[in-house]
Every structure is written in C-alpha cells, then in structure tokens.
Structure 1
Amino acid sequence: MSLRDRLRSSTQVNGHAAVAAARTGGIENRAYQELKNQIYQVLMDRIDLESLQRLSQDQIRRELQALVERLLEEESAVLNDIERKTLVRDIQNEMLGFGPLEELLADPSVSDILVNSHKQVYVERRGRLELTDVVFFDDAHLLKIIDKIVSRVGRRIDESSPMVDARLPDGSRVNAIIPPLAIDGPCMSIRRFSAVPLKMDDLIGHRSLTAEMAEILQGLGKAKINIVISGGTGSGKTTMLNVLSGYISHSERIVTIEDAAELQLQQPHVVRLETRPANIEGKGEVSQRALVKNALRMRPDRIILGEVRGGEALDMLQAMNTGHEGSMATIHANTPRDALTRLENMVSMAAASLPTKAVRQQISSAVGVVVQIGRLTDGKRKVLSILEITGMEGDIITTQEIFTFKQTGTDQSGAIIGHFSATGIRPRFLERLRAFGIAVPDTLFDPTRQYH
C-alpha cells in the first residue's frame, strides 16, 4: 500500500483520522504505528543526513516539522492540527530521541521504565508498577532504539554480545538484553534519575528516615567514616550514596568507579571511572577491580564504588585501611549482617588463601557503618537500620545497631505502619564526630522517642 493510500485509509475511523483514534487516551494502535513508520521511511529517503549534522537540535526539529507537514500536504492527508502536531512530535522523537520512550523520559513521576517486549512497557510511579500504552512498531524498532542508546556511550549489542549496561545522557542507568538470551524479543530496563538530585531534606520529607538519623549520617560523611550502603534491587542505594556524598568537603579529591556511570556528585574535584566490557574478540575488558587498583595511584582522598560485586571488595577494603578514609560503596544484601557476609565471600573469591579470621579483621577495621535501605511492600523506601561495626570478638565481627525501623502492621490501603527509633546505644563513632567538631546531643539516642 502506498503512502497516499495509507494516509487516506487511515482517516476512515468514525469519519475522522485514525491518528485521533490511535492517540485517544495516549493509546497507539497498529494503524498509527504503520502510518508513522511509513512517513519515517519516506523522510529517511528524502533527508540529507550529512546536512542535518551541521544544524542544532532546534533547527533540526523545525526542519523535520516542515518536511512532515509538506509530506502530509502532498499526500492530501485529512488530519486536524492536534493530529498533525502529534505525528510531527513522534517523528521528531524517532529521529532525534529515543522514539516512544521520550514521553516516559519526560515524565518526572516515572522512576523506572521496564520494556518487556516491543508491545509491553511498564513504568514505576511512586513505588508501584503500571502498564503503559506505549508500544514499539516491532522488535526491529525496539532494537534500533536500544542500539541508539548503547552506541552513545561506546557500547554495542548484537548476537555475539547480547547483554549490555549503558546510560542515558542524564545519567539514568540502562540494561538491555536481546535474543537469543531474551526469548520473547529485546528487553530493556531504565533506572531513572531526577534532573535535580535528591537532598537529605527530600528523604526526610518522604519519611525515608528521621531528622535525627539524617543528622548522624551527615556527621558520618563529614567525619570520614567508611560507609557501606546495603539494600535490595531498587531500594534506593544509589540515591542514598548520592545524598551522603554531598557532605564530602569540596577540598577533597574524589574518584568514583562504576559499571555504568550514574552518580551525580556535586563537588568540583571528581574523577569518574567506568568499566569496559570485552570486545568482539573477547579482549579489552577493564574490570572494577582493575579500576580500583588504578584509582589508588591517582592520589584520591576518597574512593566511591557504585556497587561492590566481586574481587574489587578486597582492594576496596585495603584502600579504606590505607588512608582513604570516608570511602563509600553500595552492596546488594537484605540485612546488614548479610552485607558483611557477602563482603567476606567476595574477598575470599579474590584471595582464597586468606584465612577467614584475617578477612573478617580486614572488614571490621575498614568498614565503620552499614546503612541498610529497603523498599517496603507498599513501594516506599526507608532506612531500615544504621549499624556500627565495633571490632572483633574471637572470630566474629561485632556490631551494634544505632537506629532501626520497626514495622507494626498495614492499613486498609496496604500502606506500611511502623516507626523509627533509636536503640539506646551510644555509638563509638561519637568520639570521631566530636574530633571533627560535630556535636551530637545524647537525646538523639533516647529509645523512648519514636518517629512515625
């Protein structure tokens, strides 16, 4: 079917344009997708891509708008102004952005975008998953968008390398996996980051923690106490790491190491390092462990690891023990004790000859505090525990919990009911906080005070 026939046949829905039917309530049907795809193909035949590269984004958008409108006029398409604007916008997004994803990326309430197939896209809003009306034309369309995303950061995805971690220009983290590993077609998940990084006041406002807990965490960041942030997937570990890093002095040199750069540090003296996967010949891989070793030669005051998941745990602990105080990292674990066990296992993988007691001594002397983050069943994220590591007793790492969140029930809407409270234990790190001029009142550790 020609473009003229497509445009004419697509206008015979309820006596008006198919675009109107297709876009009602944000729904894109197959007819609209085919119409948009055919116009896009005609544009690609007519446009001089080399000439476009010399224009600014705004100029390109104006040129595309003029071309689409001219094409619609040539084909005598019966579309009203709203429909034309919708079609022009979608074509612009296809040419300049990430196609159907642009609408979701422009929505500040969306925290995660989960593309399960070309015809099924979920988002997370306020901790809840929702099915959207966004669809792609077919698997090839989705694969083209994925390739556009990963190629911008020098990564690739194909049958020989069907998994990839990447990032969007705003720092949002992207993971994609394609056939033959993904049975039902290409899949992609995008972990969004707000344009304006969250501050501690925002977390307090969201009731993720109390002002008293925030005061302690702020002191830990300023007093150069090594911190490990523990939590499950999507619990807010990276957000908390960003917030705590905000208390680092602007006079310090910071080196960050990540698989896909996503930290949003505000300090002026920051060096960002990112791992590199192997090339098509299986060579050229640069691991987090190699970057940690290299970072030690870069005269850092603090080293921040986006996530510890392998042998780099040993080098991180050694860095924390050799003058790089105040370093931070995140780790996947359900409890603070599990986080210490995972650290021990990862160090053992890197240095199998080290005895268990020596590994635990490394951990107990390097890590000062474990901050446990959790996403509750109602979708809300909270600081579940602030745990201090106090040393060793025999072969066991000793700890003491300073603050905790206790869940007491759920209301009729499914929201979690609970409260924050101190355990009544005065932490040993108070002496270090005072040495840095940070005064902490003893009332903060009163166990009789509960915060809902």
Structure 2
Amino acid sequence: MSDGSLPTFGRRRAEAAAVNGAAAVPSVQPVPNAPVAEAPRPPVEGTITVRPEITELRNLCLARMDATAVASLSSDRLLVEVERLIADLATEKRVQLNAREQRGLATELVDDMLGLGPLEPLLLDESITDIMVNGPDHTFVERGGKLTQVPVRFRDWTHLTNICQRIAASVGRRVDEASPMCDARLKDGSRVNIILPPLAIDGPSISIRKFSKKPIDFERLIGYGTLTPPIARVLEIAARCRLNIIVSGGTGSGKTTMMNALSRFIDPSERIVTVEDAAELQLQQPHIVRLETRPPSLEGKGEITARDLVRNALRMRPDRIIIGEVRGAEAFDMLQAMNTGHDGSMSTIHANNTRDALARIENMVQMSSMGLTPRAIRQQVVSSVNMIVQVERQRDGGRRVVQVTEIAGMEGETQLLNDIFKFEVTGETATGRLTGRYEVSRIRSTFQERLQYYGLDRAWMSALDEA
C-alpha cells in the first residue's frame, strides 16, 4: 500500500519482498469461502458484473487478496486498495474498464468480504421494509406494503450459502445441511430467517425483516395512517396505567413496531426483562435485560426455550416482562407473570382478530400440559390480559390498527369483549388507498378504577370523545 505501514495485496506484496531481498515470500492466501470461477451468465439489468472479462477480474482479485490484510482494514481503505488492485489486473490482462465498472466491481468485492454481498444496497435503502431471497436468482423487496422483484442476484448457491452462514455466525448460531433452519438478527436489529437445501428446493432462502434506524413513535404511526390521535392517546394511557397488552396480527402487519411504540411510555425507572427468539425489540429505557433463546446443539443438547427464559425472568425482579412473540407453552408462564405482580407486561401473537387471539392463547396454554380445563384457562386469560390491539396489513399495503379490544370478563363459558375502537372500510381513493372510520365504544371500562388510581380517567374519556 502507499504508506507501507499496512498489509499489502497480491503481486505488489511479492515485488516488495523481492526488492528488499527477502529470502522467502509469504504465500498469498485467498479469502475464506472465495467463490470458484463459473460460466458467465446473461446480463441482468442493474448489475455490473455481466461481461466475462469482469467475472475473470473478480476471480483473479479474490485469489490475490490476503485474508490478513482484509481483516486489518476499514471498509473505506479496503475499497481504495481493491480499486487499485483491479486497475493493476485490468492493465495486466488488457481489459478495458470504465470508472463505473471499476468502482462497481470494487464495491461488490468489499461487500462480499465485509458485508452481506448483493444484499448491502438493499439493507441501506430505508424505503425497504422486507427483503426476501428465493435462491440466487430471485430477490424481492417490500416497499410501502407492496412486493416487487429487484435485479439482485448471487453468483451461485455457494455464494448465497456463505452469506447465510456469515449471518448465523455473527450471532453465535450455525446453519448448514445438518441444521438447515436458523433465526438470527443483523447488527442493526433486523430479524432474519434462513432455510437451506434440501429443505429449500430452489436454493438457500433468506427472509429479512428490517427495522427503521429511527425510533418509531405514535406521532410517526399517525403520519403513516396506522392509527388516529385518539387511539394513540388511549394506547398511551393504557401503557402508562400498566395494563397488560397483547398486540395481535398477521405476518408483516406491524406487531413489533406497535409494541416498540407502546414501550416508549414505560417509566424509565422500571426494570424490564425481554424474552425473544431473535432479539429485535428496540426499547429506549435504560434498565433493560434482554434474553434470547438458544437452539439445540448438533447433539440435540443445550436448547434454551422461551418458556425457560420466561421462568427465569420471574426470578430477576422485573417490573415488566415483554415477550417478543408467544408461540407455544410459554403462554402459560406469560399469563402467570401478568397475574402475579408484573402489571404492564406485553407480548405479540399471530391471530386474525382479537377473539382468535384469545383462542390461540388458550390452545398454547393447553400445550403446556398443565391439565387445566378450558374454563380455567379462559378465567386465567380474563384475569391476566386487559387489552388486545389488533393490527392488520390491508390490501392497499397500509398497516392499520383495526381493533382495540378490552377483555371485559366472562359470562358462562364465553369471554366478554368490548371493542373500544373498531375500523370499518367505507371505500377507497382514486389511488387505491382504503378509507374508513372507527366505531367507538364508550362503555365504562372494567379497569376504570386503575385509570382513576393513575389520575387518567378523564383523559381516557376525553380521548374517546374526540374519536
């Protein structure tokens, strides 16, 4: 390199050793997992490595790079050095490159070595909320609630598999043929699911749920049309009054985003313990303990489930327990926590509406093999959960709060529900945007005494009157 103080690459390293009279030149080791040369593919719009000569330059560049040198450099410095190496190789092989091709190839190589390869530009695009890779040749993204295919491709299955393994290794997990499924997270908190062949027939599959780098609050959700100011005020009061809240919805409906927004109203003095399969919550409070499940080892040992973590959380003197998503037998322990002095606890669940959410909780409690009767489980749910917030991704791509439901008690075997807010579609605009209105219930709440205890009963009624 120009200043001679940092490790060098390829041919120039050998030349320098010869000039200095070195007895032996250290062998140049290729970067681990370097892809092998392959036959050129037809051009794809939006990519730069389409000419066979550029493919050859890429492979030569990878072969001449020193792994130790790569690890010691920042991304900016590495980019400069890779560009120089590409220029040298292009001169040596008499390949004509314009500035765009040279810069693009260097960026691609740096992304491969230090980042996630072709996924890096998508991860930097803040308008993208989901990235879905279906094998090396098909990548889709979600923008504004709509799925579109993008001209991003990987060189082959090996290239894509290397990216998958890099993601898993970054959080201490593994994904390979023996263990072909993995939940992980990226450095920015984005959630990742990986599944490899032979389970994924058409090649390795990656699903990434991105999260905004800017904290989401109710003001931004109101701007997106997710909810109205009166609903935001009611949910703020519910969080401040330490009501136990379940956020329900389908895949990609915005459950985690809603829970992050709700959590902003938790008092900074409270101790919060979170339990997640892959840590993705973005809480802003100073006193947080984040727990994450662990899959079993290759020998089938060492698994730590969400239920194990919830049980352990109860021994950690939490003020609130927040479970990223209830999926199984940990539902019983969640209800126990909500009903034993941990008011203000929250969780998410997959369900199509608020009554279905209650049915799912009941089914998951039965999975815990506690031998409880259905009536006993329903009574436990009624005494533990105060409110369910139902979010939905609608056909126009918008994510909206469609129900805010109070668990009002039981009548016989049936749980009584009071829809404080319920969204009804009334039409759509010329651009396809759905329009609607909220029906509001002003029935006296079963947690009226708690509202009065916190001095927020008048604020509650005022929010309902404004709706």
Report the TM-score when normalising by structure 1: 0.90
Residue 101 of structure 2: aligned partner = 83
Task: State how 1:298-447 maps to structure 2 within 5 Å.
Answer: 298-438=316-456, 439-440=458-459, 442-446=461-465
Q: 1:96 aligns with which of 105, 114, 124?
A: 114
Tell me if the contact between 2:329 and 2:364 (Cα under 8 Å) persists in the aligned partners: yes
Shift of 1:60: 3.0
Q: Is 1:26 aligned to residue 39 of structure 2?
A: no
Mapped contact 1:407–1:419 kept (Cα < 8 A): yes
Distance (whole Å) between structure 1 residues aligned to residue 54 and residue 280 of structure 2:
33
Code of the residue aligned with 1:151 in structure 2: it is: A
Distance of 2:113 and 2:196 partners within structure 1: 22
Aligned counterparts of 2:441 and 2:309: Cα–Cα separation in 1: 39
Aligned to 1:10: none
Find the aligned partners of 2:55 and 2:355 in 1 and give their Cα distance.
53
Q: Which runs of 4+ in 1 moved over 6 A?
A: none
Q: For 2:417, what is the secondary structure of its paired residue?
A: strand
Structure-1 separation of matches of 2:170 and 2:214: 22
Q: Which residue of 2 aligns with 1:275?
A: 293
**2:79 maps to 1:61:** yes
Please say if residues 87 and 102 of structure 2, whose CA atoms lie closer than 8 Å, have aligned partners that are also in contact.
Answer: yes
Letter in 2 for 1:351: S
Partners of 2:66 and 2:204 in 1: CA distance: 30
Matched, 1:288 2:301: no
With normalisation by structure 2, the TM-score equals 0.87
Question: Does the residue aligned with 2:459 lie in a helix, a strand or coil?
Answer: coil
RMSD, matched Cα: 1.9
SS state at 1:44 partner: helix
- Deviating more after overlay: 260-269 vs 422-431: 422-431
1:420: Cα distance to partner? 2.3
Residue 36 (structure 2) aligns with:
none
Match of 1:106 among 124, 132, 135: 124
Which amino acid is 1:254 matched to?
I
Show the counterpart of 1:198.
216
Query: Corresponding residue for 1:16?
Result: none
Aligned-partner SS, 1:252: coil
CA distance in 2 between counterparts of 1:75 and 1:311 reads: 63
The answer on whether the counterparts of 1:257 and 1:274 sit within 8 Å (CA) in structure 2 is yes
Matched residue, 1:12: none
Identify which of 136, 155, 158 aligns with 2:154: 136
Q: What amino acid maps onto 2:192 in structure 1?
A: V
Once residues 79 and 455 of structure 2 are traced to their aligned partners in structure 1, the CA distance between those partners, rounded to angstroms, is 55
1:151 aligns with 2:169: yes
Query: When the two structures are aligned, how many residues end up with a matched partner?
Result: 426
Amino acid at match of 1:338: D
Deviations 1:150-201 (CA, angstroms, capped at 9, x unpaired): 1111111111111111111101011111111111111111001111121110
| Counterpart Cα distance in 1 of 2:334 and 2:152 | 42
3-state SS, counterpart of residue 310 of structure 2: helix
Contact 2:234 2:460 in 1 (8 A): no
Q: Name the CA distance, whole Å, in 1 between partners of 2:315 and 2:278.
A: 22
Range with bigger deviation, 352-361 or 375-384: 352-361
Aligned to 1:255: 273
- 1:249-280, Cα deviation, whole Å (9 max, x unpaired): 11011111101110111111111111111111
- Partner of 2:372, secondary structure, is coil
The correspondence for 1:46, drawn from 64, 77, 85, is: 64
Q: Quote the offset at 1:297 in angstroms.
A: 0.9
Amino acid at match of 1:390: A
Give the partner amino acid of 1:117.
G
User: Residue 441 of structure 1: CA displacement?
Assistant: 5.3
CA pair 277-53 structure 1, distance change in 2 beyond 3 A? same
Whole-angstrom CA distance in 1 between matches of 2:91 and 2:452: 74
Deviation of 1:352 (Å): 4.5
My pick for the range that moved more, 283-292 or 46-55, is: 46-55
Indicate if the aligned counterparts of 2:387 and 2:405 stay in contact, CA closer than 8 A: yes
Distance 2:48 2:342 in 1: 53
Q: Is the 8 A contact 2:386 2:407 kept in 1?
A: yes
Aligned to 2:3: none
Shift of 1:240: 0.3
2:231 alignment partner in structure 1: 213
Aligned with residue 227 of structure 1, among 245, 262, 268:
245
Deviations 1:368-414 (A, max 9, x none): 00000001011100000110112222222212110111112334443
Aligned match of 1:186: 204
Contact 2:240 2:265 in 1 (8 A): yes
Q: 1:278, 1:35 → 2: CA distance?
A: 46
The 2-side partners of 1:40 and 1:325 are apart by 58
Offset, 1:109: 0.5
Q: Which residue of 1 aligns with 2:31?
A: none
Question: Shift in Å at residue 236 of structure 1?
Answer: 0.2
More divergent stretch after superposition (64-73 vs 164-173): 64-73
- The alpha-carbon deviation at position 432 of structure 1 amounts to 1.5
**C-alpha distance in 2 between matches for 1:37 and 1:173:** 32
- d(CA) in 2 for partners of 1:311, 1:434: 35
